[in-house]
Amino acid sequence: MKYMLLIYGAESGWTEEEREACMIESMEISEELEKQGKWISASPLHSVTTATSVRVREGKQQITDGPFAETTEQLGGYYIIDVDDLDEAIKVAARLPPAKKGTVEIRPLLPLPELPAST
Amino acid sequence: MHSAEIEELYRNESRKVFATLIRLLGDFDLAEEATHEAFAAAMQQWPEHGLPDNPASWLVSTGRFKAVDTLRRRAKLNDLQPELSRRLAEIEAANHSVAQQDIEDDRLRLIFTCCHPAIDPKVQVPLTLREVCGLTTEEIARAFLIAPSTMAQRIVRGKAKIRDARIPYTIPLLNDLPSRLEPVLSVIYLVFNEGYSSSSGESLTRADLSDEAIRLARLLVELLPDPEAMGLLALMLLHESRREARMNVDGDIVLLDEQDRTLWNQDFIAEGSRLVEQALRSRRFGVYSIQAAISAVHAEATEASETDWAQIVALYDVLFRADASPVVELNRAVAIAMRDDIASGLAIIDSILYRGDLHDYYLAHSARGEFLRRLGNKDQAKLAFKQALALARLEPERRFLRNKIASTESD
């Protein structure tokens, strides 16, 4: 079962050292999951200030700066993992350093057999 | 083998069979369908061939074969979708021997699945009632006083979450157990209270709910002898022991100190008291065990006047340290009034209400009214009872309070 772990946090809530430690720890977790055949993909995202939103309404493209959600926690990165069940996904999520400061949302991927196979 | 016997078997075994089929099939709806088909097959075969050695195992394996048939048919229709054929292979490879212990474990697995912390607490209880206890959506909606369509939505939402997020169908491992056990205990207690505190209307259905809660707790204690699970079972048995005495022939509430104690169920009291002792000896007890201990002290007194109020106050002190809620404080105040004097108890109740806590809780005003009445303050007592009446929701409670108001006037 594939799950996406969406990592939300307050961008200003991290010191440079914390950010670096978080990155190292997250990489270690990725490598460990990779060895177990449970890792598919993961990445931090650039700051929310780099975000651009696109909408097409009545055929017209609208481009705006940033996401609109006025929340203190922003999407900051993601993991896609392949584990047995929700409990295992929760265990991985709880180990991710951002879980201590922000929120890790777990969403199962909806399997769609018609999609082209990834290489 | 008569159909009436099969019907009784259905009542006793169907939820077990269903729980096991969920584990084997990994699909609530498919398991439900397979359970019905297995019983339909039993209705046909048993009258002719007699009862199998282990009816539950027979039903499980018949249900599994029926489900495989269903999946094969669906797989053909859907041109062998990979997901369906994978599941088909899994089920066909499943272990053929189904021991009785496995079947009992499956019911507990199902409770833990329905009470998984990833499921909305509002959905946990209805889902448990529906899937573990086998109540209909209409019955559950009636018990919660909400529209059947709303309840159906909640149950569907819960089942979809289990399926789509793949909530595992397991009893949590020992180190996860304490955090996972708590919602399970609270769901069982809610099921019990739904059947115990409400008395109007569908009283029959609701007595069933209490029985069901006791049965679930017994199962839990049997499989996981956790002290709090024992405490909860004890608490429910001790409450249940008074069912016959709590109401007179007119359906009016009879308070603990006025109950005919010969009506109390001594078997339940003995079993409950034994469990309380066991839980307290473990030294890992919690709020259910302490409440059960309080209930056991009441049960020991053959007359209300012989109640050991000093011990009850001491237990409320312990309970208040574990759970500093205003309701516990109120109950402790009543116990203090009985141990010392009414005025001391009343002073505590007044201070709780003055803080603003329990202002909407009818029992706080009702207790205050009773103490004022006993102190001879008729006007204030009547006012307090009227406040309680404005807050009470169930008809027997309201009748009780109207009687109190009338008798305060004629005192």
Max avg pLDDT among A48-52, A96-100, B255-259, B272-276:
B272-276
pLDDT of residue B363: 93
Q: Print burial letters for A52-72: b (CB count within 10 Å at least 16), e (below 16).
A: eeeeeeeeeeeeeeeeeeeee
**Nearest Cβ partner for B168 among A86, A111, A113:** A86
- Nearest Cα of chain A lies from the Cα of B167 at a distance, in angstroms, of 5
Chain A positions in Cβ-Cβ contact with residue B164 (cut-off 8 Å): 108, 110
B82 touches chain A (CB under 8 A): yes
B31 alpha-carbon distance from chain centroid: 24
ipTM exceeding cut-off 0.85 for this assembly: no
Q: How far apart are CA A90 and CA B88, in angstroms?
A: 28
Residues 6+ positions from B191 with CB-CB distance below 8 Å:
B125, B128, B129, B133, B209, B210, B212, B213, B216
- pLDDT, mean of residues B387-400: 88
Q: Which two tokens stand for residue B5?
A: 């016997």
Residues 6+ positions from B334 with CB-CB distance below 8 Å:
B345, B367
For testing contact with chain A, the best of B78, B81, B83, B166 (most A CBs within 10 A)? B166
What does the mean pLDDT of chain B come to?
Answer: 86
pLDDT one-digit tens code per residue, B82-123: 666 666 666 655 544 444 556 667 877 888 899 998 999 889
- Give the residue, B397 or B195, on which the prediction is more confident: B397
B23 touches chain A (CB under 8 A): no
> Hey, is B398 helix, strand or coil?
helix
Local confidence band at B201 (pLDDT 50, 70, 90 cut-offs): very low
pLDDT tops 60 at residue B335: yes
pLDDT of residue B102: 64
Q: How far apart are CA B17 and CA B156, in angstroms?
A: 21
**Domains plus CATH for chain A?**
2-108 (3.30.70.1060)
pLDDT one-digit tens code per residue, A87-109: 999 999 999 999 998 999 999 99
- pLDDT, mean of residues B301-327: 95
pLDDT one-digit tens code per residue, B40-53: 898 888 888 888 88
**pLDDT beneath 70: ranges in chain A:** 68-70, 118-119
- pLDDT, mean of residues B186-199: 78
Residues 6+ positions from B320 with CB-CB distance below 8 Å:
B328, B329, B332
